[in-house]
Structure 1
C-alpha cells in the first residue's frame, strides 16, 4: 500500500531558488592561469660570483641577472688580441717593403758603386788612348775593360735592389698573411663571445620567478640560474565542451574573473586544441562537467598579465 507524503510549499520554493543559484552562466567556464617560464643559464661553466636579482623582482630588458667567474676567459681574450696585433703588424710590414733605414743603406751602396763605375770608365778611356799610343800592354787594357764592366754590373744590381726594397711583399705572401689576420680576428671574436657568456642579462621585461643557485656554487654549462616569467608568457587555460568548440575562433574576446581581482580582465583566444580529451583531473568547480572537452588558451594584454599568477583558478566568460 503506497503512501503519499506532503512537502511544504516553502521547502519546494527553497529548492527552486537553490537550483537557480547553482546554475552557472552558459558561456562561463572554469580554468586556471599558467606561465611559460624562461630558464636563463650560460653556455659556459663556472662559479657563481654575482647574483644581481632577487625572487619576486620585476626587471627590464638588459638588466644584469648573474655573473660567473671569468678569469680564464679574460686571459684567453687578451692572448687572442695580442696575437691579432702581431699578425696585423706583420701584414703591414710585408705591404710596406723594407724600412727606410734599410733602403738608405741600399742607396748608399748604389752611390758608391756608381762612383766606382765612373772611375773605372775614366780609367778605361785613358788606357785605350795609351794602348793606341803603344804606352801600355794589351793585358792592362783588358783589365781596365773588365773592371769597367764589373763596376757597371754592380751599379745595375744595386739599382735593382733599391727598387725591390721599395716594393711590398709578393702577392702570395700578402694573401697568406691576410688569412692569418682573419684567423686571429676569429679567435678574438670567439674569446670575446665566451667571456660575454659569463654575464647574462634579461632578454626581456619580466618577473624573476625564482633563483636556482646561491653565490659560490658551481654552475654547469646550460644549467638555469634564474627563472623568469615575461608578461607575454602568462596565459589562461580552460576547457569547453564539444558542442561549444565549433563556435570559437582565435582572436575572440573573453573576460577572465579571478577572486580578489579589482575588475575582470580581458583576453583573446590564441589557441584551440584540435584533439578532444576527457575532463581534466584538476578542475576548480564541484559541478559536473561534460566528459569530452577541448583545451582553449587565451592571453591577456601585457599590461593585465601582471594581475594574474600561475596556478590561480579563474572563471572565463565568452563574449
Structure 2
C-alpha cells in the first residue's frame, strides 16, 4: 500500500469501520452451487405417429408457437361427428318452436272443412226427421239415427278444430327443456373433441428455449410421452450449498451477488427457499468440528431477464454477508 492508502486504512481501523476487499480485510465468504433448470416437457395425451416437428433444439420460441403435430386423423373424424350431432340437436330443438309444416296444417284444415259439411248435412237430416216424427209420418228410430249422426259429426268437427289449433303450437315445455339439455350435452362433447384435437398439436405455454426434442417425424409417440422439452426464463434457478455458519443469515428474499466463469459482472439473485435440514449430516454427534461440515441447500432465482444466459449445470459462486 502507498502511504496515503495506509493512512486511510489506519483511520478506518481507529474509527471502527470495516475494511472491505482491497483494504487488507478478509474477502467475503462464498457459497458454491450450480444453475438448475425446471423443464416443461410437452407431450400429447394420445398415442400416434409424429407428423411434424416444428421446432429445433437450441432455438427460442415465443408463447403460443406451435411445437409439433401428432397424427390427428382419428381425432378430426371424431370432432366432425360431434359437430354433426350438435347440428342435429339444434335442429330438433328449433323444430319444437315451429309447430307443424304448412302442408300438414293444410291437411288438417281440409279435414275440418269436411267435418263442417258433414255436420250441416246431419243437422238438416235431424231437423227433417224431427218434423216427420212430430207429424207421425216417420218412425222414432229414424229420428234416433239422425240424432246420433248429428252428434258424431259435431264431435268430429270439434276434433279437427282442436287438431288445427295444436298444429300451430310449439313443443311442450318438458320437450323443450329436454331438447335444450340435449343441445348443451352436444356442445360440451364437441368442446371436448376440439380440445383433444388441439392437444395433438400443442403450443408453447410461454416463451422458452427449446432444450431438447425427443422424437423425429415418422416415429411412433406413446401417449403422454414428452416430445419437446422447454426451458422458460422464469424456470432457471440457482442451487447453492451454504455452510452451517452462514445459513442463519439467509432467508427468502435475501439478495445475493453471483459470480461464474465468463459471466458479466453485477449478476444478482434472491433467495427463494432455505432447506430445514442439512444435506450432509455427520454421524453420531454434532460436535464443534462436525458442525463445520454441515451444508444446507438454498435455492435462489436470478434478478433480471438477462441472467437467463445462465445455463443449467454452470457452476456459480455466491458472496455471503460476513
What TM-score does the superposition give when structure 1 sets the normalisation length?
Answer: 0.83
Q: Report the 3-state secondary structure (helix = DSSP H, G, I; strand = E; otherwise coil) of the residue aligned with 2:109.
A: helix
Alignment of 1:1-319 (within 5 A): 25-278=27-280, 290-318=292-320
Deviates more, 1:178-187 or 1:230-239: 178-187
Indicate if the aligned counterparts of 2:28 and 2:320 stay in contact, CA closer than 8 A: no
Deviation of 1:172 after TM superposition, in Å, equals 4.2
Alignment check: 8 A CA contact 2:49 2:219 kept: yes
Q: 2:64–2:203: 8 Å Cα contact kept in structure 1? A: yes
In structure 1, list runs of 5 or more residues that go unmatched: 1-19, 280-288
Partner SS state of residue 144, structure 1:
helix
> Contact 1:232–1:301 at 8 Å: present in 2 too?
no
Range 107-116 or range 91-100, more displaced? 91-100
Q: How far off its partner does 1:310 sit?
A: 0.8
d(CA) in 2 for partners of 1:183, 1:30: 58
| Structure-2 change in CA distance of 1:156 and 1:201 (3 Å) | same
Q: CA RMSD in A?
A: 2.3
User: What is the CA-CA distance between 1:290 and the residue it aligns to?
Assistant: 4.5
Q: Is the 8 A contact 1:232 1:302 kept in 2?
A: no
User: How far 1:299 sits from its partner (Å)?
Assistant: 0.5
**What is the number of equivalent residue pairs in this alignment?**
289
Q: Would you say the 8 A contact 1:239–1:294 is kept in 2?
A: yes
C-alpha contact 2:245 2:292 (8 A) present in aligned 1? no
Contact 2:32–2:242 (CA<8 Å) still a contact in 1?
A: no
Q: Distance in 2 between matches of 1:114 and 1:100?
A: 21
Q: Higher mean Cα deviation, 293-302 or 55-64?
A: 293-302
Q: TM-score, normalised by structure 2?
A: 0.82
| 1: CA distance, partners of 2:264 / 2:295 | 30
d(CA) in 1 for partners of 2:139 and 2:248? 126
Give the secondary-structure state (helix, strand or coil) at the position aligned to 1:213. coil
Q: Which residue of 1 aligns with 2:17?
A: none
Whole-Å Cα distance in 2 between the matches of residues 301 and 63 of structure 1?
26
Task: Name which of structure 1's ranges 270-279 and 167-176 shifts more when overlaid on structure 2.
Answer: 167-176
Stretch deviating more after TM superposition (240-249 or 83-92): 83-92
CA distance in 2, matches of 1:264, 1:254: 10
Structure 1 residue ranges, 4+ long, deviating more than 4 angstroms after superposition: none
Residues 1:264 and 1:43: Cα distance change in structure 2 (over 3 Å)? same
* SS of 1:269 mapped into structure 2: strand
Contact 1:28–1:316 (CA<8 Å) still a contact in 2?
yes
SS of the aligned residue for 1:54 comes to coil
Tell me the alpha carbon deviations over residues 201-247 of structure 1, each in whole angstroms, 9 at most, x when there is no partner.
Answer: 10111111111111111111111111111111111122221111111
